Amino acid sequence: MTDKTPPSDAAAPSRSSVALTRASLFKFAGLLVAGFVFAVYLFFYLAQDLDRTEETESAFYTEKAMQAFEKTLRLTLKDYAFWGDAYKHLHSEVDTDWAYVRQNLGSTLYADFGFQGVFVVDDSDRTVYAVIRGALQPVQASDWLKQRYAEVLSQARANAQAETPITAFIDINGSPALVAAAPITPGTDPTVVADDRQASVLIFVDILDATKLEAIGKDYGVQGLRIATGDDVHARASYPLGENGAAGSLHWDPERPGQRLLSLGLPLLSITAVLVCLMAWVLLRRTTAGAKALDASYHSLQRSQGALATSEARFRDIVEISSDWIWEVDTCWRFTYLSERFEEVTGQAREAWLGRSIDSLLCTETGTVSQWLSTANRRADNSVHCRYVDTRGQERITRVSARTMGPPGFRGTATDVTGEVEARRQIEFLSQHDALTGLPNRTCLQAFLDGKLKVLSTQENPLVLLSLDLDRFKPVNDLLGHAAGDQVLNEVSRRLCECVRHEDLVARVGGDEFVLILCDLSNQDNVEALCQRVLASIEQPIEIDGHQTFISASIGITMAPNDALEASELLRYADIALYEAKAGGRSTWRFYSGDMNAKIVERRRLEADLRFAIKHGELRLHFQPRYRIADGQIVGAEALVRWQHPERGLIPPDTFIPIAEQTGLIIALSNWVMSTACQYAAQWPQPLFLSINLSPIEFKSGGLVERIEQALADSGLNPARVELEITESVMLDDAGGALALMHTLKKLGVRLAMDDFGTGYSSLSYLRTFPFDGLKIDRSFLNRLGESADDRAIILAIVGLGHALSLTVTAEGIETAEHLRMLNAVGCDEGQGFFLSRPLDVQAFDALLQAAETES
């Protein structure tokens, strides 16, 4: 009877390993198939979505192109229709020589703008002037417009009061055309008097041919923009012209990115699927072979367990300690073992160090490694930081841990902690320094200043503290971006450090605020010389992306022990002196004095009094009359606010309005002025208008339109009798936002005037872009008339420019009869100033109006 031996333990793992491997691979193959199917579906979905998106975008840009086309034609027509000269030469009478021969409305409209038809229809609906494709011809507009003729005329005349052109798409001989019509009015030209006849109508006709449509489509990225034909019946990309497509429709060829995606993606996806299948097959073969080899090695592993047990005993202590490389030394402190990681971490060869002393490689802050190992009662879990030099000559830091190995010596681990130590040092540095410039921060400044003040009594020279703030830095951030601002701050930091000595301190304590502490300046002259050097250095141009940027700085100065002996007081006094430097015109410096603090207290008291004054009726309203220069008739008045303080008397606006703007009280102050002035103006004779100044702060705070609308509603004042004066700084800060807000104000019906014209550097472009009705020449040009002939020429040019743009030109600061004669000679429309009338209180202004009414 034979014994049946049980199956070997090796057989079980052989069967289970192979079966598990194959099952896992089949599951993996199933996931790949599902993923491929999902990817195909995703490709088709993305392709359709891309095509739909492209169609939507092309339709959007086509619509925007047509809207822009209409808007351009309306703006062009508006420049010609609402023009005093056009009213005189094409409505009051038809002057063909002025219109066609002198090219005011001649062939240039066809050559420059492509208008195929230009018509003027008089009050009896007859065409009195016609230019067809640049040539003067006796053609009736009704022959071109046909059934839309009467509709176009009636709609255009209906907008005569609002001076708004109308546009419409019509069909002309089978071709779509855009027609724009507007009544001919004098506009804002005060020299032209309108008659009682029905308004004549100016008509521009622009036919949309294939060339023009292709150019429009190219500007807006629309391919193949064309007039619809029979071949486009089934096209989805369509845009109707006119009501329900009465003038035809436009078609275009939207791109098909989805089709391109499918043509490129599906072949690549198919190739990928084939490659994945091949890889799965190869993987199946290799993993099956690997599983069999794994089972075969099972017996070999069992034989190795004995050897591994011995090795495990040797390194059990080391495993319990977090290690990087492992070492062993004998009783003479010579290396007897180094792990392979030793070479990777240190770059040194293991063989070169075996047998050499550990002290020749590593050293501690307090002594040798052998001394540390020999320390009595040293804990086994204790460690020490050691230094060594790697093969590149760089010093490294390692944390060494050790245990007694018995009589033969010690074994332990060495972990490289250079990065950790450097990081800790960096954290300590950042806690004391500015992250952007590397300069000491406020914490480091405080510690440095406290230390200097403690020993100040033993020093002969005073301690000087400069508080420096950059001027014109905000526009750099707003216009060029914060990256450019960071470059400026780094460059300024470098220049400041070059201006001081090594023992002095330059710190950055805010966005563009710096503090300099100078330890050895003997007198005020030396301090001023340093300030001059600092400002000269900062004002040098700074190169940013190939462009030169210019900034300046203001400096406040305090000195210890004369001004204070406490760090907080020195810093506060320096800030007060800095405020005085900025108030003194910037790019300068001021030493702290006791009266500066009194000024700050006085300003805060004045601010509190102003809050009380707005709420309790201490404000007074004055009006400065504005006269028509040609005949001396009063046409309106500018509202000016005054403050009747119960103790200080009458406070001028130059004193309290800047405080109101800086503290946010300007909104409440402006609300009072608008409400009160509108209430008074509603009682004036109808032709007189009211002029109100707007602060730039009001444009940024929001709610301006609602506040003006509320003041008009409460007073019942006609909006057409209100003029809002706006300074150029509003447009410099945010041109886009200001333009949108001004258009909203125009919808209320009020007039807009640019105040202080001629003092800015881009006013000409603003007059063309922004919807102004008038401009005011700055008083500085009149003040210098006797000194400079250039100012007389500038005034003449400004008046001519204003009239060319149909703006009412007003001169400020008329103080002599010579001023008035010169302004009358150059055709200036209106004026105000002390020569004509000083600002008057309500009673005096009412008396002036009554006297003017009696004289008339």
What CATH number is given to the structural domain containing 505?
3.30.70.270
Overall number of domains in the chain: 4
- pLDDT value at residue 118: 93
- pLDDT value at residue 558: 92
Mean pLDDT of 662-680: 91
Residue of 734, 727, 732 whose CA lies nearest to 752: 727
Mark which of 193, 227, 251 sits at the end of a domain.
251
User: pLDDT tens digits for 324-378?
Assistant: 788 899 988 899 889 888 888 888 888 889 999 988 889 888 888 888 888 877 7
Distances (CA, A) of 760 to 31, 729, 730, 754, 756: 70, 8, 11, 11, 8
Both 650 and 776 in one domain: the answer is yes
Both 244 and 140 in one domain: the answer is yes
Question: Does the structure show a pLDDT above 50 at 320?
Answer: no
User: pLDDT tens digits for 11-43?
Assistant: 444 455 667 777 777 777 788 788 888 888 887
Both 584 and 646 in one domain: the answer is no
Both 342 and 400 in one domain: the answer is yes
**Residue 94 placed within a domain:** yes
Q: pTM for the full model?
A: 0.44
- pLDDT value at residue 465: 93
Question: Does the structure show a pLDDT above 50 at 741?
Answer: yes
**Residue 306 placed within a domain:** no
Q: Name, of 427-436, 611-620, 841-850, the range with top average pLDDT.
A: 841-850
Question: Does the structure show a pLDDT above 80 at 583?
Answer: no
- pLDDT value at residue 141: 86
Both 682 and 759 in one domain: the answer is yes
Both 617 and 742 in one domain: the answer is yes
Residue of 555, 552, 602, 604 whose CA lies nearest to 579: 555
Mark which of 543, 560, 592 sits at the end of a domain.
592
Both 384 and 443 in one domain: the answer is no
DSSP 3-state assignment of 284? helix
Mean pLDDT of 753-770: 74
Check which CATH number belongs to the domain holding 240 and give it: 3.30.450.20
**Residue 19 placed within a domain:** no
Share the mean pLDDT of the chain.
84
Question: Does the structure show a pLDDT above 70 at 788?
Answer: no
Contacts of residue 589, defined as CB under 8 A and 6 or more positions apart, other chains included, come to 466, 528, 531, 535, 554, 555, 556, 557, 581
Question: Does the structure show a pLDDT above 90 at 722?
Answer: yes
**Residue 210 placed within a domain:** yes
Question: Does the structure show a pLDDT above 60 at 521?
Answer: yes
User: pLDDT tens digits for 604-652?
Assistant: 888 888 888 888 888 999 999 999 999 999 999 999 999 988 888 888 8
3 state SS for 523-566: CHHHHHHHHHHHHHHHCCCEEECCEEECCEEEEEEEEECCCCCC
Beta strands in 421-521 (DSSP E): 463-471, 505-508, 513-518
User: pLDDT tens digits for 251-273?
Assistant: 887 877 877 777 887 788 788 88
Confidence tier at 838 by pLDDT (50, 70, 90): very high
Both 620 and 666 in one domain: the answer is yes
Sheet with strand 238-240: strands edge to edge: 226-227, 249-251, 238-240
**818 vs 594 pLDDT, higher one:** 818
Check which CATH number belongs to the domain holding 808 and give it: 3.20.20.450
Mark which of 422, 457, 491 sits at the end of a domain.
422
Question: Does the structure show a pLDDT above 90 at 544?
Answer: no
Confidence tier at 130 by pLDDT (50, 70, 90): very high
Residue of 751, 709, 700 whose CA lies nearest to 729: 700
Both 557 and 667 in one domain: the answer is no
- pLDDT value at residue 149: 80
Both 93 and 218 in one domain: the answer is yes
Amino acid residing at 137 = Q
Amino acid residing at 471 = D
Radius of gyration of the chain (CA): 44
Confidence tier at 235 by pLDDT (50, 70, 90): low
Distances (CA, A) of 716 to 230, 274, 279, 710: 59, 82, 85, 10
Question: Does the structure show a pLDDT above 80 at 305?
Answer: no
Distances (CA, A) of 206 to 149, 252, 264: 15, 20, 44
Give CA–CA dist 656/267, Å, rounded.
76
Both 623 and 768 in one domain: the answer is yes
Give the Cβ contact number of residue 736 at 10 Å: 8
**Alpha-carbon torsion 645, 649, 654, 658, what sign?**
negative
% the chain with pLDDT above 70? 91
**58 vs 491 pLDDT, higher one:** 491
How, if at all, do strands 808-811 and 552-560 pair? unpaired
- pLDDT value at residue 10: 41
Mean pLDDT of 437-442: 90
Report DSSP state, residue 599: H
Residue 324, Cβ density class (10 Å: 0-12 exposed, 13-18 middle, ≥19 buried)? middle
**Residue 298 placed within a domain:** no
Give the Cβ contact number of residue 316 at 10 Å: 9
Give CA–CA dist 65/581, Å, rounded.
53
Angle between helices 653-663 and 666-681 (to 10 degrees): 120
Q: Name, of 491-500, 584-593, 792-801, the range with top average pLDDT.
A: 491-500
Question: Does the structure show a pLDDT above 90 at 466?
Answer: yes
**Residue 563 placed within a domain:** yes
- pLDDT value at residue 787: 61
Both 416 and 465 in one domain: the answer is no
Give CA–CA dist 354/629, Å, rounded.
107
- pLDDT value at residue 459: 59
- pLDDT value at residue 733: 67
What domain range includes position 108? 76-251
**Cα 420–423–426 angle (5° rounding)?**
155
**Residue 537 placed within a domain:** yes
User: pLDDT tens digits for 154-200?
Assistant: 888 888 777 889 898 888 887 888 899 999 888 877 878 778 888 88
Mean pLDDT of 130-153: 85
**Residue 574 placed within a domain:** yes
Does residue 835 contact residue 821 with C-beta atoms inside 8 Å? Answer: no
Tokens of residue 654, six digits: 């130059």
User: pLDDT tens digits for 374-402?
Assistant: 887 777 667 888 988 888 888 888 888 88
Mean pLDDT of 494-500: 93
Does residue 775 contact residue 810 with C-beta atoms inside 8 Å? Answer: yes
Give CA–CA dist 479/193, Å, rounded.
46
Confidence tier at 315 by pLDDT (50, 70, 90): low
